Amino acid sequence: MAKQVVRLNLWTDPAFDRIINASPDTALAVVDLAGPPETIRAQLGQADIYHVSAAKDEVPAQWQVTRELIRHCPRLVCASSSGAGYDTVDVEACTEHGILVVNQAGGNAASVAEHAFGLMLAVARRIVESDHLLKTASGFTREDLMGRELNGQTLGLVGIGHIGRYTARLGQAFGMQVLAADPYLDAAEIRARGATPVPLDELLASSDVVSLHCPRTAETRNLFGAAEFRGMKRGAVFISTARGGIHDETALYDALAAGHLGGAGLDVWNVEPPPPAHPLLTLPNVVSTYHTAGVTHEGRRKVATMAAEQIVALCAGALPGRIVNPEALPAFRQRLGG
């Protein structure tokens, strides 16, 4: 019998629906978020697999995979995140109920790494400042907008998974020395991924650009606060295409306003999009984007394809390749078989 796959009617690359609908092992239902809550709850209650957006501010809290939602979804055996992150899924609750959590890590790695470098270039070469002045002012000189080359600088990567590894390759192409701190990888693996392994404090003290590429977890939440920004080189640039909540926005503003840091490129925020009056948006040396690092045509298509193929494989009896909570496998297998 085909497994019921349910997703919300948020934008999804057509590849997802096409692959799910083509499989004899899956049936797809798309839930209209504008519908009555009782209808949405009833539709989700029929889900064997819930494919949910990874962006917490896109999914109303009551439709995120929480303990409360799980209570209304007795058939649910898999929560599939639409991206590498899984902020909309309570992994611990899923594990307790034998629900497998899968993500799409690596599907948009090229897109995110390119965006990180776009932010680095925009800050270092003052591209956004130059564009703004050309459109709004006169009487300035080219030297007023003098920036810095990335070539010859040191790039420090906090995390060197799928995206960090791709970013390391770009750093090498730009002639940068690449350092990485990642507590989940040994030194040999970090070197194999294109970086020199160092402790975090050494990375902060040595890097001209610090770029975050770690997931938001209990270990990384508020990882970067006032002490970490003070530990960075004076004039260094801070980049994050990771997740809001890993860095303290107030502490970052203070470090920039005081002149300790030379600039920042930010794609992620505590609240997305950030309010127009957000202090960081007032600084000319901050280049800001709206969590769009992975939002490219290519990245969205790859992620949608990966998600659908993982679901089809799961429903055909195979294990998906990107399992967030492997400890749930014994209970998951028992429930899936039942």
Which amino acid is it at 334?
Answer: Q
Question: Which long-range CB contacts under 8 A does 286-289 form with residues at least 24 apart?
Answer: 286/123, 286/256, 287/119, 287/122, 287/123, 287/127, 287/128, 287/263, 289/115, 289/119
Q: Which of 7, 216, 291, 322 is catalytic?
A: 291
- Measured CA to CA, the distance from residue 156 to residue 202 in angstroms comes to 10
Specify burial of residue 313 (Cβ count, 10 A radius: 0-12, 13-18, 19+): middle
Please indicate, yes or no, whether residues 264 and 274 belong to a single structural domain of this protein: yes
* Domain boundary residue, one of 288, 308, 325: 288
Q: Which of 272, 278, 301, 333 is catalytic?
A: 272
With beta carbons less than 8 A apart as the criterion, state whether 322 and 81 touch.
Answer: no
Q: Give the tokens for residue 317.
A: 């009896």
Please indicate, yes or no, whether residues 154 and 64 belong to a single structural domain of this protein: no
What's the CATH number where 324 sits?
3.40.50.720
Please indicate, yes or no, whether residues 123 and 27 belong to a single structural domain of this protein: no
Residue 291 designated active-site: yes
Which amino acid is it at 173?
Answer: A
- Measured CA to CA, the distance from residue 183 to residue 190 in angstroms comes to 10
Q: In whole angstroms, what separates CA 39 from the centre of its chain?
A: 31
Please indicate, yes or no, whether residues 161 and 43 belong to a single structural domain of this protein: no
* Domain boundary residue, one of 247, 263, 288: 288
Please indicate, yes or no, whether residues 216 and 247 belong to a single structural domain of this protein: yes
β-sheet bridge partners, residue 211:
157, 239
- Burial 270-283, CB ≥16 within 10 A → b, else e: eeeebeeebbbeee
Please indicate, yes or no, whether residues 10 and 74 belong to a single structural domain of this protein: yes
The pLDDT value given to residue 10 = 96
The pLDDT value given to residue 51 = 98
The pLDDT value given to residue 20 = 98
Omega before residue 36 within 30° of 0, cis: no
Which amino acid is it at 252?
Answer: L
Please indicate, yes or no, whether residues 77 and 125 belong to a single structural domain of this protein: no
The pLDDT value given to residue 335 = 81
Please indicate, yes or no, whether residues 120 and 88 belong to a single structural domain of this protein: no
* Domain enclosing residue 75, as ranges: 3-107+297-337
Please indicate, yes or no, whether residues 131 and 99 belong to a single structural domain of this protein: no
Please indicate, yes or no, whether residues 140 and 222 belong to a single structural domain of this protein: yes
Residue 149 designated active-site: no
Number of domains in the chain: 2
Please indicate, yes or no, whether residues 250 and 113 belong to a single structural domain of this protein: yes
Q: pLDDT tens, position by position, for the chain (338 residues)?
A: 899 999 999 999 999 999 999 999 999 999 999 999 999 999 999 999 999 999 888 999 999 999 999 999 999 999 999 998 898 999 999 999 999 999 999 999 999 999 999 999 999 999 999 999 999 999 999 999 999 999 999 999 999 999 999 999 999 999 999 999 999 999 999 999 999 999 999 999 999 999 999 988 888 999 999 999 999 999 999 999 999 999 999 999 999 999 999 999 999 999 999 999 999 999 999 999 999 999 999 999 999 999 999 999 999 999 999 999 999 999 998 887 65
- Measured CA to CA, the distance from residue 13 to residue 333 in angstroms comes to 30
* CA neighbor of 219 nearest in space, from 202, 200, 238, 196: 200
Please indicate, yes or no, whether residues 77 and 175 belong to a single structural domain of this protein: no
The pLDDT value given to residue 336 = 75
The pLDDT value given to residue 337 = 65
Neighbours of 22 (CB within 10 A): 10
Specify burial of residue 311 (Cβ count, 10 A radius: 0-12, 13-18, 19+): buried
